[in-house]
Amino acid sequence: MSPETLFRIQLILGYVACLLCFRTYILPKLKSMERFEAQRIIATVHSFRFFGLVFILPGVTGPHLPTSFATFAAYGDFATGVLALLALLTARSRPLFWSFVVAFNLVGVADLLADYYHATQTNLPALAGQLGATYGIPILYVPMLMITHIVAFYWLLRPRPAKLTSLQAA
């Protein structure tokens, strides 16, 4: 099998495995929590995105990893991670917290979508071996990041349940 085919199969299976894990183990726990607490957990997951800077760390990836992909992915992850950390640091100030939650989710989704675009434009699947030690990031970590962004947006945009709204008004 070609490296391109292996990469695409692993990427698809990464999404399937992450969706199954998320739906079975993580989502039920998050749904049982207040939205604020659930969003804090999602922010915590994304606060580790500073790790994406590894794409531009010399010697970790192969010399032929397209710099247009690596640089954008590294700094997009870094920006998202910093915004997620700011959300966590401002948890006591709810308006600030919610602003940073929106910000890290917007920047994070834009980053991941742009990374997919750059990966397609540079034919990254055919160069998957150039990812070196970072190979697991797009296969294992990115699917969970995208899934948690989608859930975070869903909860941000969904109206509050009437029961909670009436209890908080009392």
Its pTM stands at 0.91
d(CA 12, CA 4): 12
Give the single-character DSSP code of 58: T
Residuewise pLDDT in 10s, the chain (170 residues): 999 999 999 999 999 999 999 999 999 999 999 999 999 999 999 999 999 999 999 999 999 999 999 999 999 999 999 999 999 999 999 999 999 999 999 999 999 999 999 999 999 999 999 999 999 999 999 999 999 999 999 999 987 766 655 555 54
First to last CA, the chain: 63
8 Å CB contact between 45 and 148: yes
